[in-house]
Amino acid sequence: MNLILFIIVILISFIIVRIGAVAFQLTGLEWSLAEFQSLSCFSGTGFTTKESELIVSNPQRRKIASMLIVFGNAGLVTMIATFANSLRPGAAGTKVSLPFLKNIIPAEHLPWVNLAVIILLLLIIYKLFTNRSFTRHLTGLLRKFVLKQEMIKPVTFEELLIATGGYGVSRITIREDSPILAKTLIESKLRSYDITVLAVVRGHETIPNPSPNTIFSLDDELICFGRLENIQEKICSPAKLQ
C-alpha cells in the first residue's frame, strides 16, 4: 500500500507543478519561466533577485507561489514517509505491496524488489511527463480547468517596463474583438502608431522579430514596445478600453 501511495504522490506532484506553471503563465509570465518558477516554488528552491521580484510584486503570483510551497512541503513529507515504509523490512505495507512475490522471495529481499519497482515506475513517469505530445495535451486540459474554475484571472495587458515619456514594453493577448485579429503585421499598421512588435508568443512557441506577413491569431500574445496608450488603443479590444 505504501508503494502505491508513493507513486500516487509522485503523479499528483507532477500535475500540481504543471497547474502552477499554467497559473503563472496566465498572470503574464513566459512559459519557460512560468514552468521554472512553479517547480522552484514546489521544490522549495530559491530564486534570483530578479525572479523573486516577478513573484512578490504581483498579488496573484504570490498566492500561486504560496499554494505551491504548501503543497510541496506536504508532498515531500508524504513521499519521504511512504518511501521509507516501502523499504522497511517487516512493515505491513511492504508485505502487501507485492503480494504475488511473498511466496517466492524471502521477506528480507522484498524491500529491494520494491526499490527496483519504484525506480522503474519513476523512469516511466519521467518519460511520460517529458513527452512533448503528452505534456502539450495535458497542459491544454489543465489550462481549461484553471480557467473554468476561475482559479486565476488571466492578464490581458501587463506593463513589463515603463520608460520615460509614456513609452514602455507591454505584453497583450489578442482576443476575439481585437482590432488586429486575423490581420498581418503590415496590415495592422502598428508601426505608423509608433508601436514595434518585438515578439509573438503562440502557445509554447515564441516568434521573435516577426515578419511583416505574420498573421495575428486568437490568443496570440504580443510583446510590444511603444507609447502605452497607443498600444492599448490599437491592440486591446474596444470593450477593454471602456
The string of pLDDT tens digits covering residues 210-233 is 999 999 999 898 988 888 788 888
Rounded CA-CA distance 221/173 in Å is: 4
157-241: CATH topology: Alpha-Beta Plaits (3.30.70)
Q: Compute CA 130 distance to the chain's CA centroid, rounded to the nearest angstrom.
A: 14
Instruction: Tell how far CA 98 is from the center of its chain.
Output: 35
pLDDT band at 106 (very low <50, low <70, confident <90, very high): low
- Average pLDDT for 29-55: 75
Which of the residue ranges 19-33, 47-61, 84-98 would you say has the lowest mean pLDDT?
84-98
Amino acid at position 159, single letter:
E
pLDDT at 116 over 70: yes
Whole-angstrom distance, CA of residue 233 vs CA of residue 238: 8
pLDDT reading at 141 higher than 90: no
Write down the residue that cell numbers 503574464 correspond to: 28
Q: Residue 194 contacts by C-beta under 8 Å, 6 or more apart in sequence?
A: 226, 227, 230
pLDDT of residue 173: 86
Domain ranges of the chain: 2-148, 157-241
First-last CA distance in the chain: 58
Q: Where are the strands (E) in the chain, listed by range?
A: 157-162, 167-173, 195-202, 205-208, 221-227
DSSP state string for 87-146: HSTT-HHHHHHSGGGTTTS-GGGHHHHHHHHHHHHHHHHHHHHT-HHHHHHHHHHHHHHH
What's the whole-model pTM score? Answer: 0.54
Phi, psi torsion values for 125, nearest 5 degrees? -65, -45
Instruction: Please tell me whether residue 65 adopts helix, strand or coil conformation.
Output: helix
For residue 41, give the amino acid letter.
Answer: C
